Amino acid sequence: MMKMFSLKSHLCIIPACILLALALSGCGGESSDAVVLRVCNWEEYIDEGGWDEDEVIELDDGTCIAGTDSLIEDFEEWYHETYGVRVKVEYSTFGTNEELYNQLTIGDVYDIVCPSEYMIMKMMREGMLEPYSESFKDTENEENYYTRGLSPYIRSVFDDLSIDGEQLSEYAAGYMWGTLGIVYNPEEVTQEEAKHWDILLNKDHFRRITIKDSVRDAYFAAAAINFYDEITDPAFMGAADYHERLSEILNRTDPETVKAVEDILIKAKENVYSFETDSGKADMVTGKVIANEQWSGDAVYTLDQAEEDDVMLCYSAPEEGTNLWFDGWVMLKAGIEEDEAKKHAAEAFVNYLSRPESAVRNMYYIGYTSVIAGGGSDIIFDYLNWNYAADDEDEAVEYNDIGYFFEADNEESNEKYTVLTTKDQLNRQLYAQYPPASVVDRSVVMACFDDESNERINRSWTNVRCFDLNKLFGRK
């Protein structure tokens, strides 16, 4: 009996040896000690290098920033120099949060991905995420650019968010943030009209405004229209807990609200040019549409593009309230698999992207706003000056309500962080990229709804988009 047993175990050893040999040979060659980091990010959401030779950001303190190689290549090189270990970044991209989530559930494996806030919360709730290590949060360590450089404002937003008793900041490191607003052509739309979400229902602009083809963005705008009277009431706006209450109202998903929002969206569908996913930016520049719902980062891009065609566009974050969104880096349990070397590389990747120089390169390249404020370095603010300061001092106006982003609870911060800019920047790129405190006060994060609410909202969205049979038979 014993003999049989040992014979069997011998037989097992042979395939085991083959497997081992295969595994070893697989790791052999050049990549013998390389850590592979599988990154999945939004399309066109990182500096890919290849700037023209004369494209150099020269800041006041003499710092020069340029993107010769992509940030990914620079990171690989830097990691090798600093830690003596090679990292191979396998970079891929996704188009929507839902697409990323579907990929992950089908079985695609990544180590670190960059979804939006609500998707981060969903992934947290489903236990997909690997928490950041304690050493990542150590502010003493010089290399911890993220923890040291994160804007105090964004930090406070993160601290307010938790899922099932766990802080969002344990699992996510911010990347880009912004508001949801309206890009408009000032020649066709008045500033006053663009200050309110109900521009989507404005009959004067019949079939000339686009709205985002995304449930959440459309829902938010329609909810703001629905609760207009309530949330613009001076008594409400003056209340001490204004922000909490605004957040509660604009995040309502009870059946009654969903129905009211649905009715507004059906009306909007009849009035707007279209629900668009990507065509809105180009259509604004060509003048096919005169206003469109847009995220602030895309707004900056649209305004830049339009400028090249000598079209002057503006951005507005509506007065009733706006959606504060952010995208952040999260590590996936399924990818990291408790591999310390991999986790170290992933955290180093976030820190590398959070260096003020990297943040500036990204902002210059993609137009979005980094969550990094600098943390002791003035590079970010200097970049603002480099980008937006007025050439002619006589025409300059002060843009001075953005101190909140750079320093917490400091009376003088607004004074220190004042950009002398041109008058038109007060409602253009600068305003879109770094919204004043007054806009931020009335911006709320849109929560990750529970399954029941999600189903209700999705069903209502289908109702908005599907053909109404009653129309065919002329019934109302």
Partner 1 sequence: MKKSFLDRKQLAIPYFIYLVLFVVMPLLVVLYYGFTDGEGHLSCYNFTAFFTNGKTMGTLVYSLIIAVLVTVICLILAYPVAYILAKGQYARKHSFLMVFVLPMWINFTLRITALKEILTLLEGNLAYHPFMNTVICMVYDFLPFMIMPLFNALTKLDRSMIEAGHDLGATFWQVLIKVILPLSVPGIISGVTMVFLPAMTNYVVLDMVYNSTYIMGSLIGSYFNSYDWNNGSIISAILLMLIGFFTIFTDKVISNKEAAA
Residues near partner 1 (CB under 8 A), total: 31
> Is 372 in contact with 176 (CB distance < 8 Å)?
no
Task: Rule CB under 8 A: choose which of 469, 474, 475, 476 binds partner 1.
Answer: 469
Q: 3-state DSSP call for residue 48? A: coil
- Of all helices (H) and strands (E), which one includes residue 332? strand 325-332
Per CB under 8 A, which region of 80-88, 176-184, 276-284, 368-376 contacts partner 1? 276-284
Beta bridge partners of 332: 129
Among 277, 341, 416, 438, binds partner 1 (CB under 8 A): 277
Q: Please, are residues 77 and 85 in contact by the beta-carbon 8 Å criterion?
A: no
Find all residues with CB under 8 Å of 357, minimum gap 6, and list them: 63, 65, 379
CA angle 292, 297, 302 (to 5 degrees): 50
Min dist. Cβ of residue 184 to partner 1 (A): 17
Least separation in angstroms between residue 266's CB and partner 1 is 11
Per the rule left: phi > 0, alpha: psi between -120 and 50, beta: everything else, 338 is left
202 binds partner 1 per the rule CB under 8 A: no
Q: Determine, following the binding rule CB under 8 A, whether residue 43 of this chain makes contact with partner 1.
A: no
Select the residue interacting with partner 1 from 400, 418, 422, 463 (CB under 8 A): 463
Residues 83-122: x/- map of binding to partner 1 (CB under 8 A)?
-------------x-xx-xx--x-----------------
Give the shortest CB-205-to-partner 1 separation in angstroms: 11
- The interface region with partner 1, picked from 70-78, 124-132, 267-275, 386-394 by CB under 8 A, is 267-275
Q: Among candidates 354, 294, 349, which has minimal Cα distance to 325?
A: 294
CA distance 86 to 7: 43
Select from 467, 474, 475, 476 the one that contacts partner 1 (CB under 8 A): 467
The β-bridge partners of 87 are: 35
Q: How far is the CB of 201 from partner 1 (least distance, A)?
A: 15
What is the C-alpha separation between 280 and 291, in angstroms, rounded? Answer: 9
Please count the residues of the chain: 476
CA distances from 6 to 11, 17, 19 (A): 9, 16, 20
Q: Which of 43, 230 has the CB closer to partner 1? A: 43
From the list 48-56, 76-84, 266-274, 414-422, the region that binds partner 1 by CB under 8 A is 266-274
Q: Which of residues 213-232 bind partner 1 (CB under 8 A)?
A: 213, 215
Residue 79 as a binder of partner 1 (CB under 8 A): the answer is no
- Can you tell me which residue has the tokens 């129309």? 471
Least distance between partner 1 and beta carbon 292 (Å): 12
Please name every residue paired with 315 in a beta bridge, in sequence order, or none if there are none.
183
* 8-state DSSP, 188: T
| Nearest distance, CB of residue 38 and partner 1, angstroms | 22
Work out whether 462 is an interface residue with partner 1 (CB under 8 A).
yes
> Alpha carbon of 93 to those of 103, 108, 118: distances in Å?
11, 12, 19
State the residue for tokens 């800041």: 59
Between 428 and 456, name the residue whose CB sits nearer to partner 1.
456
Q: Does 269 bind partner 1 (CB under 8 A)?
A: yes
Question: Which range binds partner 1 by CB under 8 A, 40-48, 86-94, 153-161, 456-464?
Answer: 456-464
458 binds partner 1 (CB under 8 A): yes
Q: Which of 167, 279, 387, 418 binds partner 1 (CB under 8 A)?
A: 279
Q: How far is the CB of 230 from partner 1 (least distance, A)?
A: 29
Residue 125 within binding range of partner 1, rule CB under 8 A: no
| Residue closer to partner 1 (CB basis): 262 or 319 | 262
Q: Which of 354, 409, 345, 327 is nearest to 147 (CA)?
A: 354
Buried b (16+ CB within 10 A) or exposed e, 414-423: beebbbebbe
- Looking at 125, 155, 243, 465, which residue binds partner 1 (CB under 8 A)? 465
Could you tell me which residues come within 8 angstroms of residue 58 by beta carbon, excluding any fewer than 6 positions away? 64, 386
Nearest distance from residue 259's CB to partner 1, in Å? 14
Q: Beta partners for 443? A: 322
Least distance (Å) from partner 1 to the CB of residue 249? 24
Nearest residue (CB) to partner 1, 252 versus 465: 465
Q: Is 208 in the site for partner 1 (CB under 8 A)?
A: yes
Binding map of partner 1 across residues 406-435, x = CB under 8 A, - = no contact: ------------------------------
Alpha-carbon gap, residue 388 to 429, rounded angstroms: 9
Half-sphere exposure of 4 (CA within 13 A, CB side): 1
Name the phi and psi angles at 240, rounded to 5. Answer: -65, -35
Q: Give the tokens for residue 188.
A: 């066709």
- Residues forming the site for partner 1 (CB under 8 A): 96, 98-99, 101-102, 105, 207-208, 213, 215, 269, 272-277, 279, 288, 454-455, 458, 461-463, 465-469, 472
